[in-house]
Amino acid sequence: MDQCVTVERELEKVLQKFSGYGQLCERSLEELIQYAGGLRREILQSENQDGALSGTISLVMTQCCKRIKDTVQKLASDHKDIHSSVSRVGKAIDKNFDSDISSVGIDGCWQADSQRILNEVMVEHFFRQGMLDVAEELCQESGLSIDQSQKEPFVELNRILEALKVRVLRPALEWAVSNREMLMAQNSSLEFKLHRLYFISLLMGGTVNQREALQYAKNFQPFALNHQKDIQVLMGSLVYLRQGIENSPYVHLLDANQWADICDIFTRDACALLGLSVESPLSVSFSAGCVALPALINIKAVIEQRQCTGVWNQKDELPIEVDLGKKCWYHSIFACPILRQQTTDNNPPMKLVCGHIISRDALNKMFNGSKLKCPYCPMEQSPGDAKQIFF
Ligand SMILES: [Zn+2]
């Protein structure tokens, strides 16, 4: 963490300088433009008197040249100054962060099939971000053939999301209406919230939209059961149409945050409908890797120091448990209270007849003849009666 602070401090200095210089540059340029304007006027005035330059013009010109030279010199020295600050950021990064992470890499982990899978994950990530051209270029270069049907949902989602970001509701509404049944089945309030926002945008137009707003309110009908209160509030706000919603007790309806919210709700519900995770698997893995990397680099160094390099050779298993934080919890885990290990597919949790749960390995170790005594309540039972538990 300390390393981050050092780098951030250097970065802060650069940003401060940038904002200062920005204004300074603008001022110098404005002055120069004024000078040039004066010069132009002088020249225009003396256009009719042919012959050599008048005394005034040559004076103004000399001044102007001097001014330009000074300004350029000042800008050059400022540039030098800012350049040294920027390079200090780079040095701080080099000094405080480990640039060589190859020690924790596993040789040959991106060969053949894994390489293809990695490319596929990257392509899907770009589709999700709406960077279709990048995805297609990657497909071509890596020789991947991606099915069109795989791409289409992302193209559509991105189109709708882009429209929502600029407060255009129509594409999202059309999508929600055509998927109404499935959205309702997953308890989504997306369609209602879209209609609500459309209604609010009509309210903002004032009394001119009164008739249209009333007409539009019919769209709330399918949602009357679940959103009765919201609908009542919306209808109540119509009373204040004349004096403006912004001057009424209903001013909260205009909250700008709900536009950011609707983008999130749309992404979440549409992804759920299409059976996709909300976040791209690539960015999730990447951020998990960033959290785990320092711990892995440390453990690798310790392993090498103590000369027990054989310890970490299993390719799909880490030598230590790394806590990635709550954000990365996707499912419940169960640790066997007897073996003090997390249960796995090979060693699943088993429920005993008395209701206590231990791992299968613990169970196998504990039974005596054909009888098993529960380690918690001493109930005797047959090990065959234990049932596997799925979380
Ligand atoms: Zn028990």
Structure confidence by residue, pLDDT tens digits, 113-127: 888 888 989 998 888
User: How far apart, in whole angstroms, are the C-alpha atoms of residue 97 and residue 93?
Assistant: 6
Give φ, ψ of 387 to 5 degrees: -120, 145
User: How far apart, in whole angstroms, are the C-alpha atoms of residue 168 and residue 266?
Assistant: 13
Ligand 1 midpoint to CA 353 (Å):
7
Q: What is the pLDDT of residue 326?
A: 81
**In 3D, which of 137, 138, 132 has the Cα closest to residue 152?**
132
Ligand 1 midpoint to CA 381 (Å):
9
List of long-range contacts for 362-366, beta carbons under 8 Å, 24+ apart = 362/336, 362/338, 365/338, 366/338
Ligand 1 midpoint to CA 374 (Å):
5
Q: What is the pLDDT of residue 175?
A: 94
User: How far apart, in whole angstroms, are the C-alpha atoms of residue 280 and residue 122?
Assistant: 9
Residues of the chain with pLDDT under 50: none
| 3-class SS shares of the chain: helix, strand, coil, % to 5 | 65, 5, 30
Ligand 1 midpoint to CA 330 (Å):
29
User: How far apart, in whole angstroms, are the C-alpha atoms of residue 72 and residue 65?
Assistant: 11
β partners of residue 358: 350
Enumerate helices (H) and strands (E) in the chain, giving the number of each. 13, 5
User: How far apart, in whole angstroms, are the C-alpha atoms of residue 134 and residue 131?
Assistant: 6
Ligand 1 midpoint to CA 329 (Å):
29
Ligand 1 midpoint to CA 361 (Å):
16
User: How far apart, in whole angstroms, are the C-alpha atoms of residue 358 and residue 377?
Assistant: 13
Q: What is the pLDDT of residue 49?
A: 62
Neighbours of ion ligand 1 (CB under 5 A): 354, 356, 374, 376-377
Strand runs (DSSP E) across the chain, as ranges? 349-351, 357-359, 372-373, 380-381, 387-388
Structure confidence by residue, pLDDT tens digits, 105-156: 777 777 778 888 889 899 988 888 878 889 889 999 988 887 777 788 888 8
Ligand 1 midpoint to CA 152 (Å):
53
Helix (H, G, I), strand (E, B) or coil at 260: helix
Amino acid found at 123: V
Structure confidence by residue, pLDDT tens digits, 320-378: 778 888 888 877 888 898 888 888 888 999 999 999 999 999 998 887 778 888 888 88
Ligand 1 midpoint to CA 304 (Å):
44
Ligand 1 midpoint to CA 356 (Å):
5
**In 3D, which of 370, 389, 388 has the Cα closest to residue 380?**
370
Q: What is the pLDDT of residue 245?
A: 87
Ligand 1 midpoint to CA 363 (Å):
12
User: How far apart, in whole angstroms, are the C-alpha atoms of residue 136 and residue 228?
Assistant: 47
